[in-house]
Amino acid sequence: MLDATTLNPAQERGATVELSMQAALNLALAETLDEDPKALIFGEDVGRLGGVFRVTDGLQERFGATRVFDTPLAESGILGMSVGLAMAGFHPIPEVQFDGFAYPAVNQIICQIGRMNYRSRGTLPMPITLRVPSFGGIRAPEHHGESLEAMFAHVPGLKVVSPSDPQQAYHLLKYAAQRPDPVIFMEPKSRYWQKAQVNLHDGGTPEGARVARPGRHLTLIAWGAMVSRCLQVAELAEEDGIDVEVLDLRWLKPIDAEGLAASVAKTRRAVVVHEGPRTSGLGAEVAALVTEECFNTLKAPVERVTGFDVPYPSGDLEDEYLPGIDRILFGIQRVLEHRRG
């Protein structure tokens, strides 16, 4: 496995290398620790074990147990400690082991991390980068697969981002770790082992959405693991002569309304795909933004292909719950067949 401990100096200076998302995140964390003496990494099993998904593998050995350390199994304590460390001038990078484990720390996230800068009139910023292994796709038991972006994005004071591939993971995590604001960094668990070429020197602009695949007839809007699925769908649609653009939203708070509008204004049709439940999911906010910005050019209402309004199921029902290729293709068909007024 290629990680931060195996890259040679030439690679570290900017070569393009093949990395898994797990290794890309590991490298981004190592470079952050190297460049920022106030950065601290902590959470359940992130030290000696290197994390359940080995994202922090080797970091404690390299940087010491005072900068990369294990905590008790107490998420409210992990995030409460993050608040105190941020107030003391440190840059905490905590991890909650699985997305469903974030629920016990909601009070700290919403009432303290999200509000402290506002409450203190800017005297107590919260430069906290909270890493959350997120979403489904690994057939995990209950509480080990959730889609919490709508909850986090609703909280004033928080920024929310989700990478879709190793290139995005490396550059977005480094960028997030440099922000003076609290960032919820949602890592798609099912993509940890995806490998791709990563340009360590040029990641493009880390802000806003990005066009993952250009197209003319329709825009598929997604984030996290669903971007890869939408790219698969786009390839299949191309066989039928449908040229689909795939927009990787990346930043879920703030949403890049300008980039969103630019893509949909070109294709004039949009389908939003996400894993979370449909009702009050983030796709509703995206659809509203598209309608506000592109109402006069839209040829059809914005379609949503989402999870269902049930608790996120355990692994044996995951395939029925997650937006699959057939459901997304059917969403595309409905939009293309719509005849406006």
Residue 36's contacts (CB-CB under 8 Å, 6 or more residues apart) are 91, 177
Nearest to 55 by CA among 140, 146, 151, 129: 129
Exposed/middle/buried for residue 275 (C-beta within 10 Å: 0-12, 13-18, 19+): buried
Exposed/middle/buried for residue 235 (C-beta within 10 Å: 0-12, 13-18, 19+): exposed
Nearest to 220 by CA among 89, 323, 105: 323
CA distance 171 to 177: 10
Known catalytic residue: 144?
yes
Q: Which two tokens stand for residue 318?
A: 């995951």
**Phi, psi dihedrals of residue 197, rounded to the nearest 5°:** -75, 130
Q: Which two tokens stand for residue 130?
A: 């909270």
Q: Strand 68-70 to strand 159-161: parallel, antiparallel, or no bridges (unpaired)?
A: unpaired
Q: Which of 91, 144, 171, 274 is catalytic?
A: 144
How far CA 233 is from CA of 33, 94, 221, 222, 324, in Å, comes to 38, 35, 12, 12, 9
Dihedral (Cα; 69, 73, 75, 77), 10-degree rounding: -70
Query: What 8-state DSSP symbol labels residue 202?
Result: -
Answer for the pair 183, 151: CB distance below 8 angstroms, yes or no.
no
Positions marked active-site? 144
